[in-house]
Amino acid sequence: MRLGVLDVGSNTVHLLVVDAHPGACPLPAHSHKTELRLAELLDAEGSITGHGVERLVAVTAEALAVAEDKGCEEVLPFATSAVREARNAEGVLARIKDETGVDLQVLTGPEEARLTFLAARRWYGWSAGKLLLLDIGGGSLEVAYGMDEEPDTAVSLPLGAGRLTAGWLPGDPPDPAGVKALRRHVRAEIARTVGEFARFGRPDHVVATSKTFKQLARIAGAPGSGEGRYVQRVLSRTSLEEWVPKLSAMTVEQRRGLPGVSPGRAPQLLAGALVAEAAMDLFGIPELEICPWALREGVILRRLDHLPTG
**Quick one: 128 and 269 in the same domain?**
yes
Q: Tell me the pLDDT of the chain (310 aa) as tens digits.
A: 999 999 999 889 999 999 988 888 999 999 999 999 887 888 989 999 999 999 999 999 999 999 999 999 999 999 999 999 999 999 999 999 999 999 999 999 999 999 999 999 999 999 999 999 999 999 999 999 999 999 999 999 999 999 999 999 989 999 999 999 999 999 999 999 999 999 999 999 999 999 999 999 999 999 998 898 899 999 999 999 999 999 999 999 999 999 999 998 999 999 999 999 999 999 999 999 999 999 999 999 999 998 776 5
Is residue 151 within 8 A of residue 203, CB to CB? The reply is no
Q: Which domain holds residue 68?
A: 2-106
110 CB neighbour count, 10 Å cutoff: 15
| Apex 96 CA angle, 94 and 99, nearest 5 | 105
- The Cα–Cα gap between 291 and 120 comes to 6
Domain endpoint, select from 60, 75, 106? 106
- Length of the chain as a residue count: 310
**Quick one: 20 and 85 in the same domain?**
yes
291: domain CATH number is 3.30.420.150
For residue 308, being part of any structural domain is answered with: no
- The Cα–Cα gap between 146 and 130 comes to 5
**Quick one: 99 and 177 in the same domain?**
no
**Quick one: 199 and 124 in the same domain?**
yes
Domain endpoint, select from 106, 123, 158? 106
For residue 309, being part of any structural domain is answered with: no
47: domain CATH number is 3.30.420.40
Helices 237-249 & 269-282 angle (0-180, nearest 10): 150
